[in-house]
């Protein structure tokens, strides 16, 4: 499998840390030094669907394909305002594709899970071109009175087209069932036979636990895929890590003893956009001409579940 197209779309509204301090007991100094975030994009006039459609169309166009060339459509999404049908069904119609579509929810690791699934489809000959769209609006999951969570997130969509090729060298994905560190619980309709009413909790996070799990799992996943692909840390041109906290990225970099410029980031502009964060960064870097054919890239992400994943690929666009 290889990446043949990328795209992204962000909401127009940029909300700075100072804007948050107008209604929350927080400040730019705390948010910047603890997280690296200066501002985030938040859905206002747009919808998540419109962002996802925009990102998907750009990815298909940059691959030099049309919607008819897509054989399978995977959408990574944690929440949107439709429980059913899936976001991928809605997007498939909007894009004008004519292929099966499927949503997956592996939280912030969804992009790596989707790549792993796409590779199986391509390897087995089920598909030649797979469109992956990661579309997320975590700002609709948080309690906007909770300063320890709402300042961290932003909305956005990133997409890639993957096609037949031999660019991907190794994958490692995992799930450890640990709910307490990070969850969001929705109240459903009642049925008359229920004995235990549902809870209803906007995003709950134990930041310190997530921080430790993120660093340890990401370092271990990265070492795993380096070993599987017979590479060492120095061979990687760029590590594109899930953009959750600049201190998490810096700590992982320290463990790997690699220079700062190998760890590109845009968390300062967008906050944590869940599974969309790596494809958005990838698209920005491609459009800025940062990649050369033959560059080795490593993606690594972690999220609620606790899910984690990493993969290594050779850039070939």
Catalytically active residues are: 108, 242, 272
First to last CA, the chain: 12
Among 8, 129, 229, 272, binds ligand UT7 (CB under 6 A): 272
What's the closest the beta carbon of residue 297 comes to ligand UT7, in angstroms? 20
| Interatomic CA distance for residues 300 and 309, integer angstroms | 6
Q: Following CA atoms 146, 143, 250, 312 in sequence, which dihedral angle do they give, to the nearest 10 degrees?
A: 170
What's the closest the beta carbon of residue 181 comes to ligand UT7, in angstroms? 9
- Footprint of ligand UT7 on residues 39-98 (CB under 6 A)? none
Whether 118 and 104 have beta carbons less than 8 Å apart is answered as: no
Among 2, 14, 16, 26, binds ligand UT7 (CB under 6 A): 26
Residue labelled with tokens 């909401």? 11
Give the tokens for residue 263: 């760890």
- Footprint of ligand UT7 on residues 212-271 (CB under 6 A)? 214, 244-245
- Footprint of ligand UT7 on residues 183-222 (CB under 6 A)? 205, 207-208, 210-211, 214
Distance (Å) of CA 136 to CA 1, 61, 78, 122, 308: 25, 22, 7, 25, 18
What's the closest the beta carbon of residue 104 comes to ligand UT7, in angstroms? 16
DSSP state of 124: T
Nearer to ligand UT7, 52 or 214 (CB): 214
What's the closest the beta carbon of residue 194 comes to ligand UT7, in angstroms? 31
Nearer to ligand UT7, 5 or 154 (CB): 154
Name the region of 230 (left: φ>0; alpha: ψ -120 to 50; beta: rest): left
**Residue with smallest beta-carbon separation from ligand UT7:** 207
Contacts of 252 (CB under 8 A, 6+ apart): 215, 218, 219, 222, 239, 241, 263, 300
Whether 110 and 173 have beta carbons less than 8 Å apart is answered as: no
38 binding ligand UT7? (CB under 6 A)? no
310 binding ligand UT7? (CB under 6 A)? no
176 binding ligand UT7? (CB under 6 A)? no
22 binding ligand UT7? (CB under 6 A)? no
Look at strands 296-303 and 238-241 and give their pairing.
parallel
Nearer to ligand UT7, 108 or 167 (CB): 108
Among 106, 182, 101, smallest CA distance to 149 is for 182
Stretch that binds ligand UT7, among 127-135, 147-155, 183-191, 193-201 (CB under 6 A): 147-155
| Interatomic CA distance for residues 112 and 263, integer angstroms | 18
Among 70, 78, 106, 151, binds ligand UT7 (CB under 6 A): 151
Name the site residues for ligand UT7 (rule: CB under 6 A): 26, 30-31, 34-35, 108, 147-148, 151, 205, 207-208, 210-211, 214, 244-245, 272, 303
């Amino acid at each position: 499998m290889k990446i043949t197209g990328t795209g992204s779309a962000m909401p127009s509204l940029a909300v700075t840390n100072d804007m948050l301090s107008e209604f929350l007991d927080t400040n730019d100094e705390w948010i910047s030094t603890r997280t690296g975030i200066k501002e985030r994009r938040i859905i206002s006039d747009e919808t998540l669907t419109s962002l996802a459609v925009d990102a998907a169309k750009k990815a298909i166009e940059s691959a030099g394909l049309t919607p008819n060339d897509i054989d399978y459509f995977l959408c990574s999404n944690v929440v949107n305002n439709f429980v059913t049908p899936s976001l991928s069904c809605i997007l498939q119609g909007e894009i004008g594709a004519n292929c099966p579509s499927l949503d997956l929810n592996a939280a912030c690791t969804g992009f790596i899970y989707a790549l792993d699934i796409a590779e199986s489809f391509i390897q087995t000959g089920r598909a030649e071109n797979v469109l992956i769209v990661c579309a997320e609006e975590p700002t609709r999951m948080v309690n906007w009175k909770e300063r320890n969570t709402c300042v961290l997130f932003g909305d956005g969509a990133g997409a890639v087209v993957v096609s037949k090729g031999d660019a991907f060298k190794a994958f490692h994905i995992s799930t450890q069932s640990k709910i307490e560190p990070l969850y969001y619980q929705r109240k459903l309709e009642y049925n008359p036979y229920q004995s235990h009413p549902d809870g209803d909790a906007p995003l709950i996070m134990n930041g310190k636990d997530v921080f430790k799990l993120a660093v340890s799992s990401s370092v271990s996943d990265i070492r795993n895929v380096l070993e599987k692909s017979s590479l060492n840390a120095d061979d990687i041109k760029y590590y594109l890590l899930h953009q959750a906290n600049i201190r998490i990225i810096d700590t992982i970099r320290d463990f790997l003893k690699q220079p700062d410029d190998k760890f590109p980031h845009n968390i300062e502009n967008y906050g944590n956009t869940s599974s969309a964060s790596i494809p958005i960064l990838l698209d920005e870097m491609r459009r800025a001409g940062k990649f050369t054919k033959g560059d080795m890239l490593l993606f690594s992400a972690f999220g609620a579940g606790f899910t984690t994943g990493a993969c290594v690929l050779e850039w070939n666009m």
